[in-house]
Amino acid sequence: MMSEIVVLSGSPSESSRSESVLKFIGSLLIEEGFSVTHISIRDLSKDVLFNGEFNSPTVKDVTKLIQEAEGVIVGSPVYKSSYSGMLKTLLDILPQDVLEDTPVLPLMTGGSSSHLLALEYALKPLLASLKGLNLKGVYLEDFQIDKTKINNPIIHTKALERLTKQVAYFTKIINSKQTNILL
Amino acid sequence: MKVIGLSGSIVGTKTRVTVEKVLDNITDLNKEIEVELLDMKDYQLEFCDGRFYKDYTGDTRTVIEKITEADALIIGTPVFQASIPGALKNLFDLLPVDAIMNKTIGIVSTAGSSHHHLVVEHQLKPILSYLKGMVLPQYVFVEERFFNEKKEIIDGEILFRLRKLAEDVIDISKRMGKVTSSG
């Protein structure tokens, strides 16, 4: 089934701050009337990912979902100053133009503000290499998130403002793209 | 002193061949230095999920300990999606933060085209710097065309630079106090 927006969570952790934020963004988008599919890297077969089985049905399904999406949100915790290795094992086996013509909202969460540039230097170049059209993106610090608050895990007012603003840019681009197609 | 040659690819052979070449040169230059090839293809690692490193078992624990106990490292990486492979990044994710601190690190990289020369500079070195490794500024980038059909390196200039990398790793390790004066 096709979804307008695909949310890809790159966190290997069972209880993840970045994933709680991504799910929150997903709920905002659903409220606005978008269809959303949430893909968690944890739900994919570890063997498929680790062994790079690019021909597996799982990878083909994920590829199709991403290719058909109007917009994609990619999130990762900062691990060792970069995106998670587990997320990269999936992106390694997707076609190299999988995000072509697709607005992409990158999101990262990290333990301190020192890792803010991981978004610029690690995640965004990777998404650009997959031909995605990067938005500015959002970086959140761990203390700004309470992952137990499922309805809205962002407990920091300014961080929430930044995030909702970026989501608004994202939907504006998707809506204008859809309008252009209709015209 | 012990040098681990880490081949960071789970597919193909060029990265392993290049790492092995550096290790052979090290042995040739100084028989007292112990070398070991750690080919990621031979190990089935778990994905890092933020656990304490001692809570991992089997291959994962073995690889973490081999790297932690080494005095110097030769890290070989192929290029996947204009960055390092997810499997290699996952291994970095698994390492304790001080696992490679102050260890001399030489880098080799293999790729299909010259366009990927800067991947090491922009994607690999920042991670190794974050982990506080003493990374040699010069790395050896080996394009596919420098290999023959038997996957042997045939280019004289590349062979010279791999030899130089081996010399530099020994020399810098010596200055860091990891090689005895007799060695």
pLDDT for the residue A111: 95
CATH assignment of the domain containing B132: 3.40.50.360
What count of residues does chain B have? 183
Residues B92-106 have a mean pLDDT of 96
Looking at the DSSP bridge assignments, the partners of residue A127 are: none
A6–B contact, CB cutoff 8 A: no
When divided into structural domains, chain A yields a total of: 1
Distance in Å, alpha carbon of B47 to nearest chain A alpha carbon: 6
Neighbours of A171 (CB within 10 A): 21
Neighbours of B148 (CB within 10 A): 10
Q: Is residue B173 part of a domain?
A: no
A114–B contact, CB cutoff 8 A: no
Token pair 């932690």 in the structure block, residue? B68
A88–B contact, CB cutoff 8 A: yes
* pLDDT tens digits along B9-42: 999 999 999 999 999 999 999 999 999 999 999 9
**Facing residue for A85 by CB, picked from B11, B50, B93:** B93
pLDDT for the residue B116: 95
Q: Is residue B54 part of a domain?
A: yes
Domain containing A24 equals 5-182
Find the radius of gyration of the CA atoms of chain A.
15
Token pair 């106990």 in the structure block, residue? B69
CATH assignment of the domain containing A164: 3.40.50.360
Q: Compute CA B29 distance to the chain's CA centroid, rounded to the nearest angstrom.
A: 18
Q: Under an 8 A CB cutoff, do A88 and B44 touch?
A: no
Interfacial A residues in 63-82 facing B (CB < 8 Å) = 79-82
pLDDT for the residue B180: 54
Q: Is residue B166 part of a domain?
A: no
What are the Cα distances from residue A141, in Å, to A45, A78, B23, B102? 29, 10, 42, 29
pLDDT above 90 (res B179): no
Distance in Å, alpha carbon of B36 to nearest chain A alpha carbon: 23
Q: Under an 8 A CB cutoff, do B45 and A121 touch?
A: no
Q: Under an 8 A CB cutoff, do B87 and A85 touch?
A: yes
- Joined together, the tokens standing for residue B108 give 């080799």
Interfacial B residues in 16-35 facing A (CB < 8 Å) = none
When divided into structural domains, chain B yields a total of: 1
List Cβ neighbours of A137 (8 Å cut-off, separation of 6 or more).
A105, A106, A107, A108, A119, A123, A124, A166
* pLDDT tens digits along B115-161: 999 999 999 999 999 999 999 999 999 999 999 999 999 999 999 99
Q: What is the pTM of this model?
A: 0.94
Q: Is residue B181 part of a domain?
A: no
pLDDT for the residue B88: 98
Question: Whole-angstrom distance between the N-terminal and C-terminal Cα of chain B?
Answer: 9
Percent of chain B with pLDDT over 90: 91
A125–B contact, CB cutoff 8 A: yes
Helix (H), strand (E) counts: chain A: 7, 6
- Joined together, the tokens standing for residue A140 give 């959140």
Contact residues, chain B, for A12 at CB < 8 Å: 47-50
- State the Cα–Cα distance between residues A169 and A163, nearest whole angstrom: 10
- State the Cα–Cα distance between residues B87 and A94, nearest whole angstrom: 15
Q: Is residue B176 part of a domain?
A: no
Low-confidence ranges of chain A (pLDDT < 50): none
Nearest CA in chain A to B125: A81
Domain containing B11 equals 2-159
Mean pLDDT, chain B, rounded, equals 95
Residues B81-99 have a mean pLDDT of 96
Q: Under an 8 A CB cutoff, do B45 and A125 touch?
A: no
